[in-house]
Amino acid sequence: MILKNEEFLELVEIEVKKFLSMPNWHFLIETAKQENYFGSLHSKKDLLGLLGYLRMNFAMQIRILNNYNNHFEISSNHCKFLRGDWFKTQVLKNNCISYNLHFKEFKTYKFI
């Protein structure tokens, strides 16, 4: 199944907004802002920084959980794990959007 591109992007942004409203991520969000790797809130297609990583991660989880065939760009070779079998298996095992999935890897890559 394929959703209209705008509908799919809106599903991704809903998850990004949920993440941003979670108090346990406040320190990380503020650090990303201060260190200039937060990304853009103004473009649903921006794949840079923390927000870009979240968009890629949530888009892939939404695709897997809902069996959507929507295309969503993965901006760099560093994000190959988002397309891997392990990632897909973990998403299906969780059976819901995870806000922690692969978050440790974000720190090891430069998404800026």
Q: Give per-residue pLDDT as tens, 12-64.
A: 999 999 999 999 989 989 988 998 889 999 988 888 888 988 999 999 999 99
Burial class (CB in 10 A: 0-12, 13-18, 19+), 47: buried
* pTM (two decimals): 0.86
Domain count, the chain: 1
Average pLDDT (58-83) is: 84
pLDDT surpasses 60 at 111 = no
Residue 110 Cα to chain centre, angstroms = 15
Domain containing 13: what range? 5-108
What value does the CA radius of gyration of the chain take, rounded to a whole number of Å? Answer: 13
